Amino acid sequence: MRVLVIGGGQNSEHEVSLASAAAVATALRSIGHEVRTVTISRDGVWDAAPVATPAESLAAAMPALSWADVVFPAVHGALGEDGALAALCALAGVAVVGSDLRAGAIGMDKWATKLVAEAAGIATAPGYVISASDLGDVEYEGPVVVKPVSAGSSYGVGLVREPGDLLDALRTAARFDSRILIEEVMRGREIDVAVIREAGGVRWAAPPLEIHAAGLFDTAMKYDGTARFTVPAALTPAEAGTLTRTAVAMFDALGCAGVARMDFFLTEDGPVLNEVNTMPGLTAASQVPRMFAAAEVPYPELMDRLVRAAADRRASRERSATSRRDHARA
């Protein structure tokens, strides 16, 4: 198929997205897809017209969208993973890899994700949201984790153990979002579960992965090569089954498509959802491809399955639309 891979983006995960997009493009070419790439700068300029305004450059990129059978938006974070690019593809009538606007937007918002999880009966860490304009009104109530409500790769996340460190952590989080989530510290093993929706709608979860970190699994540890993973994680059959069922339930509750990574704390009381990534890191060394490799799905095949699932989903929607029109005429 003709696949357009989009990388970059206007957020703190720009470099990570470039790495994902490059890896995805190489993998898809290796198995016979015709691939074109486009990069969005940190300023929102598409490289189809690099000296133009963002709007002009987007207009120049539209022929590439119309060329593609499938768009693969390997853009993490705001104005990418949050459903913005999925919405653009929906308006253009092009198949897109990954979740749609609704699932992407909710999954990117950690507070909204917690509300959906609660409605689905899935535990999350107790917490609350404040506005960046109210930083001075927050009182220290024991060790907490401070997070921007909508940001990825742990940018702006801080573990606060002392009262004097709270304001600095809040200010750091406020650099990435105007809304800040403050959560109780969870004690448990950090376990990730990747769920995929294949062509035909079948969902399944790869073997869980455990993150080994002495403290906070922060941005530096994610990308400096010091992170240590075990996949499959050393779990009892009961633990693995509970985590898998919970991950698929959350995937369905959000209405995700493509692949999504569900991050949990495995506590004495069971799994506690940390967050959801609807467009997780996708280099061959990233957590999601590692998990599918453990399920004997090589990296190029995983990328191919995502592309084919997107094309199948688009075809299914077109059949449904045709059926509705025919029914209306009758």
The reported pLDDT for the residue numbered 227 is 75
What is the C-alpha separation between 290 and 263, in angstroms, rounded? 15
Give pTM, 2 decimals.
0.90
What is the C-alpha separation between 214 and 110, in angstroms, rounded? 24
Binning pLDDT at 50, 70 and 90, where does residue 316 land?
confident
Q: Mean pLDDT over residues 74-87, rounded?
A: 94
Binning pLDDT at 50, 70 and 90, where does residue 74 land?
very high
The reported pLDDT for the residue numbered 215 is 59
Binning pLDDT at 50, 70 and 90, where does residue 137 land?
confident
Binning pLDDT at 50, 70 and 90, where does residue 317 land?
confident
Q: Whole-number mean pLDDT of the chain? A: 92
Q: Which fold has domain 2-98?
A: Rossmann fold (3.40.50)
Q: How far apart are the first and last CA of the chain?
A: 35
Could you tell me the two tokens for 12?
A: 């703190």
Comparing 76-80, 87-91, 243-247, the range with the smallest average pLDDT is: 76-80
Q: What is the CATH number of domain 127-184?
A: 3.30.1490.20
Do residues 138 and 125 lie in contact, with contact meaning Cβ atoms separated by under 8 Å? no
Residue 37 has pLDDT above 60, yes or no: yes
- Indicate if 127-184 has the same CATH topology as 106-122+187-303: no
Residue 289 has pLDDT above 80, yes or no: yes
Residue 266 has pLDDT above 90, yes or no: yes
**Segments making up each domain of the chain, as ranges:** 2-98, 106-122+187-303, 127-184
Binning pLDDT at 50, 70 and 90, where does residue 139 land?
confident
SS (H, E, C) 38-74: EEECCCCCECCCCCCCHHHHHHHHHHHHHHCCEEEEC
Binning pLDDT at 50, 70 and 90, where does residue 141 land?
confident
Helix (H, G, I), strand (E, B) or coil at 146: strand
Q: What is the CATH number of domain 106-122+187-303?
A: 3.30.470.20
Do residues 105 and 116 lie in contact, with contact meaning Cβ atoms separated by under 8 Å? no
Alpha helices by DSSP H, the chain: 14-30, 54-67, 84-92, 101-108, 110-119, 166-174, 219-223, 237-254, 287-294, 299-329
Any idea what DSSP says for residue 124?
A: B
Comparing 45-59, 158-172, 211-225, 302-316, the range with the smallest average pLDDT is: 211-225
Q: Specify the higher pLDDT residue, 137 or 272.
A: 272
What is the C-alpha separation between 206 and 229, in angstroms, rounded? 15
Could you tell me the two tokens for 200?
A: 């035909």
Comparing 77-86, 128-137, 317-326, the range with the smallest average pLDDT is: 317-326
- The distance from CA 263 to its chain's CA centroid, rounded to whole angstroms, is 11
